[in-house]
Amino acid sequence: MSTLKEIHVPDIGNHDRVPVIEVLIKPGDHIDKDDALVTLESDKATMEIPAPFSGTVKEVALKVGDEVSTGALIARVLSDEGTADHDGVIQKEKASLPASATESSQPVPKATVMPDKPSNELTIKRPPLDAGLPMPVAELPYASPAVRAFARELGVDIAQVEGSGRGGRIQRIDISGHVKQALASASHSVAGGGSLAGQSAALLPWPRIDFSRFGAIEEKPLGRIQKISGANLARNWAMIPHVTQHEDADITELESFRKCLAAENKDLKITPLVFQMKAVVAALKAYPSFNASLDQSGEKLILKKYFHIGIAVDTSDGLVVPVIRDVDRKGLLELARELTEVSTRAREKKLNPADMSGGCFSISSLGGIGGSAFTPIVNAPEVAILGVSRAITKPLWNGKEFVPRLMLPLSLSYDHRVIDGALAARFAVFVARQLADIRRLLL
C-alpha cells in the first residue's frame, strides 16, 4: 500500500522568501524520483527542486509567485514505494539537495548546461542578468533552468519557442530546433530570389535589456527619416553579401584644377565630389554591370542606359539620398550648382520622394569630415556604392624618390551576388585613374 507523504523545500541556505517561478507538477501527475517539482529563483540563482521519491501527486501546495523558505510544503504525494500507512499519519520528507548544490555567484560553465531530462542534480544558475527585461512570473515559459540557460547561450527568446514536452514544457531539443529553423529560413531568404520579393530574414530577436538597472538613462525616439533609412539599411545589410574594395586616387592635379575652377566661380561651391560623380559615370559606362539592378526573381540583371547618381546627404534628421539625374550629360559647374541646391533642400526637409528615386549608383562622401576608409552599405536595388574619405598628402615613390601627393581614399562596396572581386578591383582602379588624370573624363 502507498503512503501519502509531504515534500518540503530542502535547506536552501540563507535564503528566505524565495519566489517560486515555476510549478512543474499538478494533482494526478505521476512523478519519478528526481523529477523537477518547482523552480525557485532568488536574486542570485535559479534552483530546481527534484522529487525525493516516485509517486502520484495528490495535492500541490505552491503556486507561481509564492515565496518560500526552507521547510515550506511543496506537495503531498502518494509514494509508490512507501511503507503501509497503518495509522493514517502523513510522513514528511524533504526534497534532497546534492552536496555540491550550494549557491554560487559564478557564471555556470557551459559543461553544466544539461539536457532537459530527469536529473539527480540540482541545477543552480545565475539569473538572466543581461537577457532582458524581467518577465512577469505568470508569463514565464515552461522550461527548466538548464533549458533557459541553453536558450540564453544561443540568444533565443524562450517565449518564441513551442515546447514539445509534457504539458508544453520546453526542452533543449525545442531550442535547438528553433535555432535550426531560424538559420534555415534566414539562409533561404538571403540566398533565394525570394529575398528580393520582400521576405525578411528570420533573425534572432533583439535582446531586451532594462538599461536603467545599470545606471541613469534617457529615452530619445528615433526620427522619421532615421526609422525609414534604418529599416532600409538593415535589410540591405542583411540581404546583400557585401564586400568593400579600397583604392587610393592621386588627386594632386585634380585639386589644383578644382581650386582654379573654384576661384573663377566664386558663386558656386565646387568640391571634389562633382569630379567623383563624373569619374563614376565613366566607370559605369566601362563596367555596365555596376549600372544595374537584380530583378525581383534574383535571376536576371536589369542594365540601365541612364546615369542617375544618388548622393548621401547628412541632415539633422538623418541620412537621405537625393538623386542627380543624367550626370553624363551635365558639366562640372552645372553639377556643382545642382549638388548645392539638392543638399540645401535635403537639409531644409524639402525633398520629395521623386527627388530620391531612380538612382543607379550612390556616392557617400565623408571627405568634408574626415576618416581614412569606411564600409558604405549598398543602397538596394543598386549593386554598388562608392564611399569617399578625406584626401591627405602622402609620400609616394615615383621610381626615384618619394614625392608628396594628395591621395583620396575610395571605398567601393558591392553586391557580391552580382559583382566579382576582380571586377570590383578593376572598377575602383578605373575610378582612381579618372581622378588622377581628369583629361580621361573627356574620352
| Strand, coil or helix: 294 | strand
411 lies in the site for ligand CAO, by CB under 6 A: no
User: Which residues are known catalytic residues?
Assistant: 416
- Chain mean position to CA 396: 41
Q: Which amino acid is at 419?
A: I
271 lies in the site for ligand CAO, by CB under 6 A: yes
143 φ, ψ (degrees, to nearest 5):
-160, 155
79 lies in the site for ligand CAO, by CB under 6 A: no
163 lies in the site for ligand CAO, by CB under 6 A: no
Nearer to ligand CAO, 165 or 230 (CB): 230
In the complex, least distance from residue 339 CB atom to ligand CAO, rounded to whole angstroms: 6
Query: Which residue has cell 553624363?
Result: 328
Of residues 313 through 342, those in contact with ligand CAO by CB under 6 A are: 313-314, 319, 339
In the complex, least distance from residue 332 CB atom to ligand CAO, rounded to whole angstroms: 12
Instruction: Give the interface segment with ligand CAO, choosing from 144-152, 219-227, 325-333, 363-371 (CB under 6 A).
Output: 363-371
Instruction: Give the interface segment with ligand CAO, choosing from 30-38, 132-140, 183-191, 269-277 (CB under 6 A).
Output: 269-277
Among 408, 428, 432, 436, which residue sits at the site for ligand CAO (rule: CB under 6 A)? 408
Q: Cα separation of 75 and 59, whole Å?
A: 6
In the complex, least distance from residue 149 CB atom to ligand CAO, rounded to whole angstroms: 38
17 Cβ neighbours under 8 A, 6+ residues apart: 67, 68, 69
Which of 54, 57, 91 minimizes the C-alpha distance to 74? 57
273 lies in the site for ligand CAO, by CB under 6 A: yes
Q: Cα separation of 151 and 159, whole Å?
A: 10
Q: Cα separation of 385 and 242, whole Å?
A: 10
In the complex, least distance from residue 441 CB atom to ligand CAO, rounded to whole angstroms: 17
Among 245, 364, 411, 434, which residue sits at the site for ligand CAO (rule: CB under 6 A)? 364
Nearer to ligand CAO, 7 or 406 (CB): 406
Nearer to ligand CAO, 4 or 342 (CB): 342
Query: Which residue has cell 547628412?
Result: 314
Question: What beta strand segments (E) does 295-401 contain?
Answer: 301-303, 309-311, 313-315, 318-320, 323-324, 361-365, 384-388, 392-397
Among 365, 382, 430, 435, which residue sits at the site for ligand CAO (rule: CB under 6 A)? 365
In the complex, least distance from residue 126 CB atom to ligand CAO, rounded to whole angstroms: 39
Nearer to ligand CAO, 182 or 431 (CB): 431
Quick one: CA torsion of 318, 324, 327, 329, rounded to 10 degrees?
-170
Residue 291 contacts residue 284 (beta carbons within 8 Å) = yes
In the complex, least distance from residue 321 CB atom to ligand CAO, rounded to whole angstroms: 9
228 Cβ neighbours under 8 A, 6+ residues apart: none
Name 41's bridge partners: 46
The footprint of ligand CAO (CB under 6 A) covers 271-273, 311-314, 319, 339, 343, 364-368, 376-377, 388, 390-391, 408
